[in-house]
Amino acid sequence: MVLTDFLERNAKEFPDMECLVEINPQKKPERYRTWREFSLIEPIASKEYRRSITWAEFDKMANRFANLLLSKGIKKGDKVAILLMNSLEWLPIYFGVLKTGALAVPMNYRYTSDEIKYCLDLADCCCLIFGPEFIGRVEPIADHTPLVQTLIYVGTGDVPFADNYYEIINYFIFDKPNIELTENDNAAIYFSSGTTGFPKAILHIHKALVSSCLTEQKHHSQTHDDVFLCMPPLYHTGAKMHWFGSLLSGSKAVLLRGISPEWIFNTISEEKCTIVWLLVPWAQDILDSIDRGDLKLDEYNLDQWRLMHVGAQPVPPSLIARWKKVFPTHDYDTNYGLSESIGPGCVHLGVENIHKVGAIGVPGYLWDVKIVKENGEECKTEEVGELIVNGPGVMQCYYKNPEASAEVLKDGWLYTGDMAKKDKDGFIYLVDRKKDVIITGGENIYPVQIEDYLRKHDKIKDVAVIGLPDKRLGEITAAIIEVKEGMTMTQEEVEKFCFELPRYKRPRVVIFEDVPRNPTGKIEKPKIREKYCKVSLVELQTTE
């Protein structure tokens, strides 16, 4: 069985059932009506900010796009990059790529032009599908990616260097392409990065994608009557693989293009959402809005909401305690996963284990987990070691990078780089990361990239970037800057210099101090963390 089989089954069994809905806050009316007001005025289908498709339409859209790609010479084994914001077109395009036998290559919408080009070249992509938000980033590299022969623009208006999706898609038939696929065929490449900050291309086969459907549905018990609210970006394995539970159960999902508490609650009410996946900052924003009185629960239809789960970053137990006070009937789960393990689920808490909040959980369905020492020996209870996982969702390799693959793939086990321990009941707790990756609001930030950028400033002698604990975002970036002898520098100068960086990569805290290095020349980040992670944010902001 391959992933597209589930879509084709749903199209036959539930052809007229609405399966995907897009809610776009940018097209909201002047005053957004509450659910109770709305239900008395007009049917939901008339709202222009709401678009939807049925399972039959989904499958036809995927077939049409597959036939379009085949007409462009795309063949089995080729790589097709997808650079889109969440939209109703995203998943049909993804499945259309898979139906050709090509590999889908989702790309981070935060990538700069240079990062887009790097990833296109790394994955040997021959086609790029992109949305209007990315014209300014794609145009400068359009003539400098020799392997990319086809560019398809998914938006209104003309882009001179690309074909327009909406203008050409109607020329192609709805019939399924006659392409034979097996569970061992390559299916997708996702991008990740290590502490160097350079993206690695993670290769997965169809069997891995199917296994993530089975794991997700087992963990969260999706039925045909559930409605999943998805807000995180679909380029990431987390969002898409959580949606795979909806795919397997043939149930509806809602793509919300906005994360304000008001929009989340209105969408839950109007679409009768039963499962909501939140990042830590969004959950905190919701609770804060309720505490302030901005959100009044009696104005919303929330009775059907049964599960809230959180992933992508460590979850503060205090947050879940607050949540359960407000929503005592909600089930709660958290998931641990990596793109190398096809997203969430290789470890999960389980809705029945709320008493173990703080742990990442137990081995997920179809997964084996160990915590090992440097010599490979399994750790004892409460002993800290590296978390390793084994299951059908483990990647095949880092594409075109055998050295990096060999570092993390050993005898079928994936070495995660995360340090963990197990309690007497078998629950796993993360202790620290081997890698220096900073996770802020569910996004990975790679310190070396920021360090390399800052070192270009003519006043900076040395720099170290670390993550500091933050109640809302999990972590924020802090830059420890050693200024060249005889020079002075201000925080304002650093902020101005970093303006060219994406906003989420800019240091939130700047500390002027010598950067400690060990005798071999490596930055002693554990020593820096020990010194600064216990200092209050106010104190750090005044440090010079």
pLDDT band at 397 (very low <50, low <70, confident <90, very high): very high
Check whether 251 has a pLDDT greater than 70: yes
Domain contains 343: no
Which of the given ranges, 42-46, 255-259, 343-347, 401-405, has the highest pLDDT on average?
A: 401-405
Check whether 150 has a pLDDT greater than 60: yes
In 257-327, DSSP assigns E strands to 275-278, 307-310
Q: What is the pLDDT of residues 185-243, one digit of tens each?
A: 999 999 985 434 578 999 999 999 999 999 999 999 999 999 999 998 999 888 889 99
- Rounded Cα–Cα distance for residues 418 and 433 (Å): 4
Domain carrying residue 500 = 438-541
Q: What is the pLDDT of residues 356-385, one digit of tens each?
A: 988 999 999 999 999 999 899 999 999 988
Domain contains 307: yes
Task: Calculate the alpha carbon distances from 531 to 319, 435, 460, 467 in Å.
Answer: 26, 19, 21, 12
pTM of the model: 0.82
- Rounded Cα–Cα distance for residues 491 and 489 (Å): 7
Domain boundary among 263, 295, 326: 326
pLDDT in the model for residue 184: 98
Burial class (CB in 10 A: 0-12, 13-18, 19+), 136: exposed
Domain contains 465: yes
Where residue 43 sits, what CATH number does that domain have? 3.40.50.12780
Q: What is the pLDDT of residues 491-534, one digit of tens each?
A: 999 999 999 888 888 999 999 999 887 544 467 787 888 888 76
Domain contains 295: yes
Domain contains 11: yes
- On whether the CB atoms of residues 488 and 512 are closer than 8 A, the answer is no
Check whether 27 has a pLDDT greater than 80: no
Give the closest residue to 174 by CA, choosing from 57, 59, 64.
Answer: 64
The rounded mean pLDDT for the chain is: 89
> Counting every residue, how long is the chain?
544
Burial class (CB in 10 A: 0-12, 13-18, 19+), 487: exposed
Q: What is the pLDDT of residues 47-72, one digit of tens each?
A: 578 999 999 999 999 999 999 999 99
What percent of the chain has a predicted confidence (pLDDT) above 70? 91
pLDDT in the model for residue 533: 77
Tokens 């022969």, residue located? 149
Check whether 544 has a pLDDT greater than 60: no
The count of domains in the chain is 2
pLDDT in the model for residue 435: 67
Average pLDDT of the segment spanning 423-442: 82
- Rounded Cα–Cα distance for residues 374 and 376 (Å): 5
Give the closest residue to 266 by CA, choosing from 296, 225, 287.
Answer: 296
Domain boundary among 326, 346, 379: 326
442 shares a domain with 322:
no
Domain boundary among 326, 361, 381: 326
Where residue 478 sits, what CATH number does that domain have? 3.30.300.30
Check whether 319 has a pLDDT greater than 90: no
